[in-house]
């Protein structure tokens, strides 16, 4: 079955860190760019970061640049998002999503999401 | 960054109605425009990509138009399963950006 499965969400204090994982199955993970998209409670979708299929190119939204790091391990079919210096306003469901051959593409497969709560 | 503006933010409609959602980009994005449907508590689902290509399995009552900066998603005969929130997204350049969403509610 073609799917993405996120994990690693939870409760973290402001200023804390968390690492999200996204395990892919059912497709050739190493052939596709991947992205992280978040959605605060009751709000819209916000693209956070993207990574090329090889892992050699990464992009970040201005709001997370310098604090978040996206990476991937193609041997493990897994995408990661290391989040540091978390802020309360970053409480959201974080989705991983499969792109096309490049980062700037439609997101044609989404995981179920993992909830990150930043609160003291 | 390219700003995406959807309208309306919400609408109420009845089963069988025709509804149209518009999406405007702050600069030309050619046909690099995608549409997603999201139901409460679920992940978004890609409906249409490259401005006009329906994702596999998407019913033909969904149609699209536009290029450049102005786009529209039309649902010709609204079905109960179409009540959801719809987002446009540009894939012309990074950062990828989404419209604020249009919630289609039952009248």
pLDDT of A103 strictly over 90 = no
pLDDT of A39 strictly over 90 = yes
Question: What are A41's two structure tokens?
Answer: 């409670």
Chain B residue closest in CA terms to A41: B41
The per-residue pLDDT of chain B, averaged, comes to 96
Q: Which B residues in the span 24-83 are in contact with A, Cβ-Cβ below 8 Å?
A: 32, 34, 36, 38, 43-46, 49-50, 55
pLDDT of A104 strictly over 90 = no
Residues of A in contact with B34 (CB under 8 A): 106-107
The per-residue pLDDT of chain A, averaged, comes to 97
Residues of A in contact with B101 (CB under 8 A): 44-45
Q: What is the pLDDT of residue A102?
A: 85
**pLDDT digits 0-9 by tens, A53-69:** 999 999 999 999 999 99
Coil, helix or strand at residue A89: helix
pLDDT of B24 strictly over 90 = yes
Residues whose CB is less than 8 angstroms from the CB of residue B67 and which lie 6 or more positions away in sequence, other chains included: B30, B31, B51
pLDDT bin (cut points 50, 70, 90) of residue A4 is: very high
Give the whole-angstrom CA distance, residue B26 versus residue B37: 22
pLDDT of A89 strictly over 90 = yes
Question: What are A83's two structure tokens?
Answer: 């989040």
pLDDT of A28 strictly over 90 = yes
A108/B46 touch (CB, cutoff 8 Å), yes or no: yes
Q: Among A69-73, B19-23, B49-53, B98-102, whose mean pLDDT is lowest? A: B49-53
Q: Do β-strands B102-106 and B97-98 pair in parallel, antiparallel, or remain unpaired?
A: unpaired
Do residues A3 and A113 touch, judged by C-beta distance below 8 A? Answer: no
Chain B residue closest in CA terms to A35: B96
pLDDT of A42 strictly over 90 = yes
B101/A45 touch (CB, cutoff 8 Å), yes or no: yes
Q: What is the mean pLDDT of residues B74-81?
A: 95
Q: What is the pLDDT of residue A101?
A: 81
Q: What is the pLDDT of residue A100?
A: 83
Question: What are A64's two structure tokens?
Answer: 């997370």
């Amino acid at each position: 079955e073609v799917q993405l499965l996120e994990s690693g969400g939870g409760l973290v204090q402001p200023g804390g860190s968390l690492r999200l994982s996204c395990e892919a199955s059912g497709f050739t993970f190493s052939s596709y760019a991947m992205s992280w998209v978040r959605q605060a409670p009751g709000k819209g979708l916000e693209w956070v970061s993207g990574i090329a299929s090889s892992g050699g190119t990464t992009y970040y939204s201005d709001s997370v640049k310098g604090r978040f790091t996206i990476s991937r391990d193609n041997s493990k079919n897994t995408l990661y998002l290391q989040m540091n210096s978390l802020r309360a306003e970053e409480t959201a469901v974080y989705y991983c999503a499969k792109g096309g051959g490049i980062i700037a593409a439609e997101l044609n497969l989404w995981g179920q999401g993992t909830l990150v709560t930043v609160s003291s | 960054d390219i700003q995406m503006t959807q309208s309306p933010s919400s609408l109420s409609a009845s089963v069988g109605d025709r509804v149209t959602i518009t999406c405007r980009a702050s600069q030309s994005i050619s046909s690099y425009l995608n549409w997603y449907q999201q139901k409460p508590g679920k992940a978004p689902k890609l409906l249409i990509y490259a401005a006009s290509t329906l994702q596999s399995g998407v019913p033909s009552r969904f149609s699209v138009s536009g290029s450049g900066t102005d786009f529209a998603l039309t649902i010709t005969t609204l079905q109960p399963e179409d009540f959801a929130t719809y987002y446009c997204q540009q894939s012309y350049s990074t950062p990828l950006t989404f419209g604020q969403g249009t919630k289609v509610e039952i009248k």
